[in-house]
Amino acid sequence: MLEHLLAAAAFAGALVTGTLAEYVIHRLMHSGRLLGRTHTEHHHDGWGQGWAGEFRDYVVASLFLILPGALPAWLLLDWPWAAGAWAVGGIFYAALAAYAHQLQHEKPELVFWLPRPVHYLHHKHHMWRHNFGILVDWWDRLFGTYQAAEWKPARRPFEHPLRAFLDIKWY
């Protein structure tokens, strides 16, 4: 029972850590300290790479969190199941973030888990210093970079057919 709870905590911890890393990395991109030119081009073009391209980038970045989080649990504590749960949580985060990024570029009205699609608004209103979250807006709210912008989609997310949630560029 304890193993299951610790594995669930490791999985959830990787998800939360992924969202924090996403926020920090996005802020570093906007400060010009990390991929500044590439990220400026992304803002200029305003498109996503497709889910697979986004997933690749998020997985590569997540490896810097997955390995340091998983290896101590496995090697020092002899908890391979917690290490595995942390790794799966990191990969699951990358998949969700890739979907959230692509969806906010193509169909922001379908972002049902946020009051406002912050990444879409970040681009639409050229918010170079606000709304760095992609999957969640918690960190923007916590660190004072959240900026509300008017958001009135023509239809609410679940007024669309369910297939609309899958109708994004995947590759």
> What whole-number distance in Å separates Cα of residue 40 and Cα of residue 76?
42
Return the pLDDT at 42. 80
Single pTM value for the model? 0.93
Residue 78, pLDDT above cutoff 70 = no
* Average pLDDT taken over every residue of the chain: 91
Residue 170, pLDDT above cutoff 80 = yes
Neighbours of 82 (CB within 10 A): 23
Q: Of 104, 122, 117, 121, nearest to 29 (Cα)?
A: 122
- For 86, the token pair is 């942390």
Q: DSSP H helical segments within 32-150, as ranges? A: 36-45, 51-71, 80-106, 118-124, 138-143
> What whole-number distance in Å separates Cα of residue 153 and Cα of residue 88?
34
Report the chain's terminal Cα–Cα distance, integer Å. Answer: 40
User: Which range scores top for mean pLDDT: 30-39, 81-90, 114-123?
Assistant: 114-123
Answer yes or no: are the C-beta atoms of 167 and 161 closer than 8 Å: no
